[in-house]
Amino acid sequence: METKRIQNINQSLQSINQFFALQNHEYVSIINNDLQQVSHLNYSYLNLTECLQSTSDSYELFSVCKNEKVFYWLTFNLEPFRNIVKLQVLQILGKISNITKISSILDQKFILASLKGNIQQLYWFNQTYDILQYIGFEEKKQMYCQDFSITQLPQTNEENKKKLILIINLQGNLVNFFDMQIQNNTQKIQILEQFGCSSVIKYNELVISNGVVLISSIPTYSNLPTMNNSIYQNGILMIQFQQNNGYIVGCYYLDNLREHNLSLPYVMQGSFYTSSNQYAMIMNQYYLEMEERKRKIRKFKQCLTENIEKLKELDYISQQIQHFEYYVNSILKNIKHIKNKLCYNRQIKKLIFIKQKSKLNRCLMIFH
């Protein structure tokens, strides 16, 4: 991971894969990790007055911008080998007063916003009708939504035609879990689970009935308030804390989730101070290569362990078969021994019978 400082920039800052994106309401500039501009796109013709929030996914940058009347969802697609940025613009219908956070995955767009006359809630941007649809419990609609997170769930072979997104939001003192099923261009959001807590941090090993597991927690930094703009990539989590008029960005390494002691919280591995709430992260290519090697080694180790267990199981089965064969052979030997003994006894009895018969015949001959 590399950290570079960019001075005197008022635009929003995002990372697009291995690039930085510097953006305002008129243009976006794509910059590599050597701080060299590789692409530039001017969209001042849209007559926007402000860009409120931005996020990224792979080689796409997403922004919500507005003019005096309308809000727009802007999608910038970077072609990495040609360094060309393409722009798609969608109008968002609805009376929005404020937008706190946006996120996008699998072409599904989510917005944490306040509509006029309503408190902040989580919405899904329905691109068919260009409207915002509330995500949550209807009876909890008066509870303030503080934050949310989304991720793609792994698919099984039976569900290879279905894509699943896990949605988690914090609404009042409730943590809500939803999943979105995407199949044949149709979307369906359903409730998975809901639980209440006075502090999420105290749940270190909370197992939820539908398979969601909260495995660990991250303590606050000197009781500083946490900003809603955390970044996670390839096992590294960056969280921003507000300190007076500035910000501290803390780094956490989460690449050993399975090996981590669940009774212990994750501790900060590094931090830096910034006067701006805008920050981004791109991964050093060498680090990514090393992480990929570590992942392959872990996978090989896991595969080797599984094979060893299978060999042990086969060895155990082989031993059981040998014991069974020995037992069967012992039974066969006993049967053979009993058979031979029976045959011997029969022969003896037969000889005795013959002798007795012969003796009887001699006696009869005497009488004659």
Q: Distance (Å, rounded) from C-alpha 211 to C-alpha 162?
A: 18
Amino acid, single-letter form, for residue 247:
Y
Structure tokens at 163: 């894509």
Q: Distance (Å, rounded) from C-alpha 49 to C-alpha 288?
A: 38
Q: Name the 3-class secondary structure at 117.
A: coil
Q: What is the pLDDT of residue 141?
A: 83
Q: What percent of the chain has pLDDT over 70?
A: 77
pTM: 0.66
Q: What is the pLDDT of residue 157?
A: 62
Per-residue confidence at 13, pLDDT binned at 50, 70, 90?
low
Q: What is the pLDDT of residue 355?
A: 67
Q: Residue 169: pLDDT above 60?
A: yes
Segment among 29-38, 85-94, 340-349 with least mean pLDDT: 340-349
Q: What is the pLDDT of residue 17?
A: 67
What are the extents of the domains in the chain?
227-283, 292-368
Q: What is the pLDDT of residue 198?
A: 43
Q: Residue 300: pLDDT above 70?
A: yes
More reliable by pLDDT, 246 or 10: 246
Q: Distance (Å, rounded) from C-alpha 303 to C-alpha 297?
A: 10
Q: Distance (Å, rounded) from C-alpha 247 to C-alpha 276?
A: 7
Segment among 46-60, 85-99, 235-249, 268-282 with least mean pLDDT: 268-282
